[in-house]
């Protein structure tokens, strides 16, 4: 179970995991050794899955984002989870969610242009057995995005 100090440490790491432990400890008014111990414990317990870099997608040529809604067409040989896993392997697909409602799978995709995203949807995604209807929604602005 996480206590308030663990939650405060996690919040600091979510904002900038690259900061030195000493700086996080100072910000939180805690000892460096305590913060280091808690971070290591949370890693071992699987609370912290991994520490990642969050790129500036525009700078690296992936400044166009779209949300793609997908219906699953039941297949004898492929479950919805297998279809979602195949979709997840496509380069440019950054998130895959199996959901309830009118749509079965929701994706976040990135590319350097709307044309590139269109090619991904038309030439890769729609060719996967089990993918039914798709609707692609281009994003004008991203107001909040967390890793």
- Domains belonging to the chain, first-starting first, are 4-44 (1.10.10), 64-138 (3.30.70.920)
Which parts of the chain sit beneath pLDDT 70?
Answer: none
Percent of the chain exceeding pLDDT 70 equals: 100
What pLDDT is stored for residue 20 in this prediction?
96
**Euclidean distance between CA atoms 97 and 15, whole angstroms:** 24
What pLDDT is stored for residue 35 in this prediction?
97
Model confidence over 82-118: pLDDT tens digits? 999 999 999 999 999 999 999 999 999 999 999 999 9
What pLDDT is stored for residue 147 in this prediction?
72
Of 45, 21, 44, whose CA–CA distance to 31 is shortest?
21
**Euclidean distance between CA atoms 61 and 123, whole angstroms:** 20
């Amino acid at each position: 179970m996480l206590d308030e100090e663990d939650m405060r440490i996690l919040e600091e790491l979510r904002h900038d995991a690259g900061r030195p432990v000493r700086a996080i400890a100072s910000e939180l008014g805690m000892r460096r050794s305590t913060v280091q111990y808690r971070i290591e414990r949370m890693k071992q317990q699987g609370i912290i899955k991994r520490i990642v870099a969050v790129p500036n997608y525009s700078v690296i040529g992936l400044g166009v984002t779209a949300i793609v809604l997908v219906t699953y067409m039941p297949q004898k040989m492929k479950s919805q989870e297998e279809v979602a896993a195949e979709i997840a392997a496509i380069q440019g697909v950054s998130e895959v969610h199996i959901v309830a409602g009118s749509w079965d799978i929701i994706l976040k995709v990135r590319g350097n242009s709307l044309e590139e995203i269109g090619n991904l949807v038309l030439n890769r995604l729609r060719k996967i057995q089990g993918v039914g209807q798709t609707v692609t929604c281009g994003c004008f602005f991203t107001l909040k995005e967390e890793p």
